[in-house]
Amino acid sequence: MRILVINPNTTPSMTAKIGLSAQAVASDTTEITTLSPDKGPASIEGFYDEAYCVPGVLEIIRKGEIMGYDGYVIACFDDPGVDAAREIATKPAIGICQAAMYAASMVSTSFSVVTTLPRSIPIIERLAQHYGMTHFCRRVRAAALPVLSLEDPHSNAIEQIKAEIYQALEQDRAESIILGCAGMSDLAQWLSCETGVPVIDGVGAAVKMVEALIGLGLKTSKVGAYGFPLPKPYQGDFAPNQWES
């Protein structure tokens, strides 16, 4: 099967890292392609960045449908554009936040999320509420790191993340940890070993969840909210994105 993994931001090093994390867990028979938009923000730190990454993500999904991909992963922990992607995708499309939270709730009775910036905490709490994970989620913690500091080998990002994890285990009594940023995906396995608890990376989780849905032969429901967009005129720069039946 062929899975298209989309890094919604435009930073190539992060696309590469996400691709490696996806590859690392993919089944032998899965072919991973990793893409990122040609327009939009270099990192996604809040609602504004999110708004400007979504059109590019959707263009990739549209191409993906033409090229016959079997499923899609949107690799940003805010799960940007996932609902819109499901409208235009016949195949399963999932975000890394939803995948990670479901994985965590199957191997523990509670988790804490460690993300980058405090401004992302309310966004992730809202996703937890929407996905029904509020009572599994002990706390969303921020390590006070800009997203792109994760790309900087000289930053002390890893130490700060590890410190937050230990606080989550002690103060929140979390039984597992979710890394709340695609840029942390390379750290999950090592942090799992270090801490002795499941440390879950959403990129990997989403790849495996999409493989699972594809393996079940499940497609996105076209009855109701995820039905194909209704054809209508699109104006200006966005005219090429106009949906036609």
Scanning residues 1 to 20, which ones bind its own copies (CB under 8 A)? 10
**Of 13, 63, 67, 134, which lies in the binding site for its own copies, with binding defined by CB under 8 A?**
134
Q: How far is the CB of 82 from its own copies (least distance, A)?
A: 9
Tokens coding 64: 């993906």
Within residues 218-237, the interface with its own copies by CB under 8 A covers 218-227, 229-230, 232-237
Q: Does 190 bind its own copies (CB under 8 A)?
A: no
Exactly one of 13, 31, 63, 126 binds its own copies (CB under 8 A); that residue is 126
Per the listing, tokens 């033409």 go with 66
Query: Of 27, 31, 67, 171, which one interacts with its own copies (CB under 8 A)?
Result: 27
Is there a contact between 222 and 228 (Cβ–Cβ < 8 Å)?
yes
Stretch that binds its own copies, among 150-158, 159-167, 178-186, 204-212 (CB under 8 A): 204-212
Within residues 42-101, the interface with its own copies by CB under 8 A covers 42-43, 45-52, 54-56, 58, 81, 83-84, 86-88, 92, 94, 98
* Residues ≥6 apart with Cβ < 8 Å to 43: 9, 11, 14, 49, 146, 147, 148
- Tokens 């309310």 sit on residue: 122
Report if residue 28 touches its own copies, rule: CB under 8 A. yes
Find the shortest distance in angstroms from Cβ 111 to its own copies: 9
Judged by CB under 8 A, how many residues of this single chain contact its own copies? 103
Q: Min. distance of Cβ 191 from its own copies in angstroms?
A: 12
CB 128, CB 158: distance < 8 Å: no
Give, as ranges, the residues between 162 and 181 that touch its own copies (CB under 8 A): 169, 173, 175-176
Among 13, 31, 39, 171, the residue binding its own copies under the rule CB under 8 A is: 39
Q: Which of 102, 151, 161, 183 binds its own copies (CB under 8 A)?
A: 102
CA angle at residue 145 from 111 to 20, to 5 degrees?
A: 70
Binding flag, residue 161, its own copies (CB under 8 A): no
Reading the block at residue 71, the tokens are 């499923």
* Owner of token pair 């009572």: 135
Find the shortest distance in angstroms from Cβ 201 to its own copies: 8
The CB-based long-range contact list for 29-34 (8 Å cut-off, 24+ gap) reads: 29/1, 30/1, 30/2, 30/3, 30/207, 30/211, 31/1, 31/2, 31/3, 32/3, 32/5, 32/207, 33/2, 33/3, 33/4, 33/5, 33/69, 34/4, 34/5, 34/6, 34/7
